[in-house]
């Protein structure tokens, strides 16, 4: 019998790469991908996945209750990745970020506990969950473990619309899993990057586009902030390992960070990209990050390694080169 898996947000960045990884790593598998194609794209890359006989695609709006009649049931794993993401969206349509992300998760959990409670549910939370504690109180363990207080620093700043949906999302998943006795996994991604990560609002894709266009004066926002970056193939491999692991079933619900280990200042990231790609602008324009942008992010991935034995395989230099080459041949102007 084939392993049946559902991925919402299947046409998006993580969904596409997770699908590709699952197809490459398992032969006896049946994948159902759901996306409303608002942000995810049915481009040439995605169409190649749909040509695989093991993949079925459903174009559905998960904020509509009737959509769930199309999903069926009996999935071994459900990855709920669907969400409105991207810093630009947080500022331009925070009300839609809140509505879409929260409604779709609430309906998804209702469907899961009725039709699929013998399966395992994965919810992608966010490293934004940690930002408020550092900004509001200047107190946050670095590297940051999973169980620290989570804070919304400013409810009037629309940037927090996304983080708020991820915090309430974690509460939804934890309490539904406890109430209906199903297995659940909360993963907190830390700056996944790679080909097909979208346009606008993400630092590495933005840098790729500016370098490809040879932008001079070269803007760098939040130049003194630090981040760690995790290449997408390493990231989705970690997600699959966590979902497959019997260790993550022992507590019924687990919360796990996924992220890289090389902390880097953003202006140094730009310099690394210039070096890797072989072009450097004559002038830099280093600016402050937008209000609410956290100064430092570094995940403690001890739990991930303990549960799965996961390690990074793709170095930052290698990942940046691959990502740049993809964006060079897929500029935003052609999408």
DSSP assignment of 131-196, as one string? Answer: HHHHHHHS---SSBPS-S------TTSTTHHHHHHHHHHHHHHHHHHHHHT-EEEEEEE--EE-TT
Using CA of residue 104, residue 110, residue 116, residue 118, what is the dihedral sign?
positive
* Across 122-129, average pLDDT: 90
* Of the candidates 247, 163, 215, 205, the residue with the CA atom closest to the CA atom of residue 331: 205
Tokens (6 digits) for 281:
């602008």
Each residue of 14-32: b (16+ CB within 10 Å) or e? bbbbbbbbbeeeeeebbbb
DSSP annotation of 251: T
State residue 136's pLDDT score.
62
* Across 99-106, average pLDDT: 98
Rounded distance between C-alpha atoms, residue 208 and residue 270, angstroms: 10
pTM of the model: 0.95
* Of the candidates 10, 9, 12, 7, the residue with the CA atom closest to the CA atom of residue 196: 12
* Across 252-281, average pLDDT: 96
CATH among 3.40.50.720, 3.10.20.740, 3.90.25.10, 3.40.50.10190 for 3-193+230-260+299-310: 3.40.50.720
Rounded distance between C-alpha atoms, residue 203 and residue 191, angstroms: 9
* Across 214-243, average pLDDT: 96
- pLDDT at 335 > cutoff 70: no
Tokens (6 digits) for 27:
């032969």
**CB neighbourhood size of 304 (10 A):** 21
State residue 158's pLDDT score.
93
- pLDDT at 224 > cutoff 80: yes
- pLDDT at 122 > cutoff 70: yes
Rounded distance between C-alpha atoms, residue 203 and residue 332, angstroms: 15
Rounded distance between C-alpha atoms, residue 127 and residue 241, angstroms: 20
- Residue 204: strand, helix, or coil: helix
* Of the candidates 12, 25, 81, the residue with the CA atom closest to the CA atom of residue 54: 25
Domain map (residue ranges) of the chain:
3-193+230-260+299-310
Residue 230 near residue 11 (C-beta atoms within 8 A): no
State residue 149's pLDDT score.
86
């Amino acid at each position: 019998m084939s392993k049946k898996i559902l991925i919402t947000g299947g046409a998006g960045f993580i969904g596409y790469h997770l699908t590709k990884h699952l197809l490459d790593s398992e032969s006896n598998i049946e994948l159902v991908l759901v996306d409303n194609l608002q942000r995810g794209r049915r481009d040439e890359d995605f169409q190649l996945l749909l040509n695989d006989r093991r993949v079925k695609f459903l174009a559905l709006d998960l904020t509509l209750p009737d959509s769930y009649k199309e999903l069926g049931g009996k999935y071994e794993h459900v990855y709920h990745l669907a969400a409105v993401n991207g810093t630009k969206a947080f500022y331009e349509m925070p009300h839609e970020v809140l509505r879409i992300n929260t409604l779709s998760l609430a309906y998804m959990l209702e469907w899961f506990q009725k039709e699929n409670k013998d399966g395992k549910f994965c919810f992608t939370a966010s490293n934004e969950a940690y930002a408020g504690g550092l900004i509001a109180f200047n107190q946050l363990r670095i590297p940051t473990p999973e169980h620290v207080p989570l804070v919304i620093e400013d409810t009037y700043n629309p940037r927090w619309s996304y983080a708020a949906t991820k915090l309430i999302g974690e509460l939804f998943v934890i309490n539904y899993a406890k109430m209906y006795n199903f297995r659940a996994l909360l993963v907190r991604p830390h700056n996944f990057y790679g080909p097909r990560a979208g346009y606008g609002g993400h630092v590495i894709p933005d840098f790729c586009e500016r370098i490809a266009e040879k932008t001079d004066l070269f803007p760098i926002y939040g130049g003194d902030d630090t981040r760690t970056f995790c290449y997408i193939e390493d990231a989705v491999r970690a997600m699959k390992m966590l979902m497959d692991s019997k260790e993550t079933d022992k507590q019924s619900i687990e919360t796990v960070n996924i992220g890289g280990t090389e902390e880097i200042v953003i202006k140094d990231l730009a310099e690394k990209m210039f070096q890797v790609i072989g072009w450097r602008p004559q002038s830099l324009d280093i600016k402050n990050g937008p209000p609410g942008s956290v100064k430092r992010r570094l995940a403690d991935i001890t739990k991930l390694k303990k549960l799965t034995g996961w390690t990074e395989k793709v170095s930052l230099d290698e990942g940046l080169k691959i990502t740049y080459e993809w964006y060079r041949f897929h500029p935003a102007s052609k999408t």
